Amino acid sequence: MYYPMFYFDPTYILIVIGVVICLLASMKVKRTFTKYSTVRSASGLTGRDAAEQILHGAGIYDVRIEHVRGNLTDHYDPRAKVLRLSDATYHSQSVAAIGVAAHECGHAIQHATNYAPLTIRGAIVPIANFGSAIAWPLILIGLLFNSQSSALFLNLGILAFSAAVLFQIITLPVEFNASGRAIRILRGTGLLRKEEVDSAKKVLSAAALTYVAGALSSILQLLRILILTGGRRND
Ligand SMILES: [Zn+2]
């Protein structure tokens, strides 16, 4: 009788490592954001004001700025062309708020200028969602049933999971580029003073770390699947 993974599974350590990395990154971003959200910027602009100035400065007038509930829920929605800023950003005059607002504007500018990684990421979203939904069912079918088509199910499951991993990886240049743009704009326009830009940079670097952690943990999950299915894929 073959028990694929209900007994002690040492590859589970890869999942644990991924979870720990993500937790640490999320703690780091929360701590950094909290620290600089108490530092009021000299300009006295709110996150919303800063976003509006940056968008207009980039010649973008067709992106709405809205308020969204939640903690660190700020995002740019390319389909609706809406930039949503959270409680801690929209009304806040802090250096952290202006940094985050500028980062989201970075995404709006990527969209307006057809920045290729953003376009590719947008195209991958449905495939990645579908892939992560069907990956494990396919893999389990492949592992549990010992038949001629086991290897086929396993390989399809791995392919599906890889689509989700690819999405996480293509997210990295998109996020790093948005932060790079944000810092250049904040520095260039004088929306923040020099030492304030350094603080905003710390917030955005911490945020970028969460995306790196997410990508790493999904790569570790893929690695685990490859190990778990190794001997059976070539049956
Ligand atoms: Zn972003």
At 110-164, the pLDDT tens digits run: 999 999 999 999 999 999 999 999 999 999 998 888 777 888 999 999 999 999 9
CA of 26 to the centre of ligand 1 (A): 15
CA of 179 to the centre of ligand 1 (A): 7
CA of 104 to the centre of ligand 1 (A): 6
Better-predicted residue by pLDDT, 232 or 189: 189
Which candidate in 52, 104, 175, 196 is catalytic? 104
* Nearest alpha carbon to residue 191 among 59, 94, 108: 94
pLDDT tier, 1 (very low <50, low <70, confident <90, very high otherwise): very low
Judge whether 104 counts as a catalytic residue: yes
**Average pLDDT for the chain:** 93
63-92 pLDDT per residue, tens: 999 999 988 899 999 999 999 999 889 999
**pLDDT on residue 231:** 74
Ligand 1 is an ion; residues with CB less than 5 A from it: 175, 178
CA of 48 to the centre of ligand 1 (A): 16
- Torsion angle in degrees (nearest 10) through CA of 218, 117, 122, 170: 0
